[in-house]
A and B are shown apart, each in its own frame.
Chain A
């Protein structure tokens, strides 16, 4: 069981987490945040294995991981 939390206010929508996730669980949202970017969000939280590669790749330290 693993859980990630993406700070959607801090996310700049670069998408580097989407290519880091080995299960391709992260996608960019259609909504726009207060900075004008489309933040990332996780689709199937249950499938997350907590590898933290998304958080490692995030240039804005916007992701925290629990396991």
Chain B
């Protein structure tokens, strides 16, 4: 018998701290598989953010720079410029990238830095107790929007994949979901494409991955997973928003 599915080499064989049903683990695995496929593990430098994603230095078998509070894209710029032969990616949540680090991500994207950004959107600040994020859906109750997000007071959720796709420096921008086997296979394909663009030196590549946060949504893992496919995919439509190869 042949082993047809195993843990990717770029992932350490350790238990993660993620809650049951959290998609961070799945997205970690897809990123590790892409690293294995391109054989870049030995010269990859990951840039971690703040939030639940911060512990990726403990889960990926690569070198990692820890860059809290939204600065990952700026730190990744420095890493890539200092070591242009290395493969550099950032892994950031929505509180980190779309709120605290908006300036950093927009300017790194606009400069067309040759890095890959993995943006995990779970519509809330996971680690700090489920506060409202810029990506929180309208009507969603969080610890700082107990009556639900209100459009007139809080604005509408930010669609980062679309926003960044308008910038000249962006080579690839896509949104994916990992809630079903079909979406997951597509996510795998898009993450590999984003990695290939950096390997080929095409420029800034961006992946927004929709993720569940069962604990802070107050749901069980299966209902939270279903919400990603229903409510989240309805507002944050998965798809490729920019691809320089098609221009």
Q: How many residues of A contact B (CB 8 A)?
A: 26
- A10 near B15 with CB under 8 A, answer yes
Q: How many residues of B contact A (CB 8 A)?
A: 28
- B20 near A14 with CB under 8 A, answer yes
Shortest C-beta distance, A44 to chain B (Å), equals: 18
Residue numbers in B under 8 Å from A12 (CB-CB): 19-21
- B5 near A60 with CB under 8 A, answer no
Q: Mark B1-41, 1 if CB is under 8 A from A, else 0.
A: 11111110001000110111111111001000000000000
A26 CB within 8 Å of chain B: no
Given A59-B24, A59-B26, A60-B25, does the pair A50, B4 have CB atoms closer than 8 Å? Answer: yes
- A65 near B4 with CB under 8 A, answer yes
Shortest C-beta distance, A31 to chain B (Å), equals: 16
- B3 near A19 with CB under 8 A, answer no
Number of A-B contacts (CB under 8 A): 70
B163 CB within 8 Å of chain A: no
Residue numbers in A under 8 Å from B225 (CB-CB): 16, 19
By CB atoms of chain B within 10 A, which of A3, A12, A58, A59 has the most? A59
- B5 near A56 with CB under 8 A, answer yes
Chain A's closest residue to B22 (CB) is A59
A42 CB within 8 Å of chain B: no
- B222 near A57 with CB under 8 A, answer no
- B25 near A52 with CB under 8 A, answer no
CA–CA, A56 and B7, complex, Å: 10
Which of A1, A13, A53, A60 sits near B181, CB closer than 8 Å?
A53
B167 CB within 8 Å of chain A: no
B221 CB within 8 Å of chain A: yes
Given A65-B4, A66-B4, does the pair A16, B221 have CB atoms closer than 8 Å? Answer: yes
- A59 near B2 with CB under 8 A, answer no
Q: Mark A1-29, 1 if CB is under 8 A from B, else 0.
A: 10100000010111110011000000000
- B25 near A59 with CB under 8 A, answer yes
Given A37-B20, A57-B26, A59-B23, does the pair A19, B1 have CB atoms closer than 8 Å? Answer: no
Question: Top 8 nearest A-B pairs by Cβ distance?
Answer: A59-B25, A14-B21, A12-B20, A14-B221, A65-B5, A14-B20, A55-B5, A66-B1
Q: Which residues of A contact B (CB under 8 A)?
A: 1, 3, 10, 12-16, 19-20, 37, 50, 52-53, 55-61, 63-67
Q: Which residues of B contact A (CB under 8 A)?
A: 1-7, 11, 15-16, 18-26, 29, 180-181, 184-185, 214, 221-222, 225
Known: A12-B21, A63-B5. 4 other contacts (CB 8 A): A14-B20, A15-B222, A16-B222, A64-B7
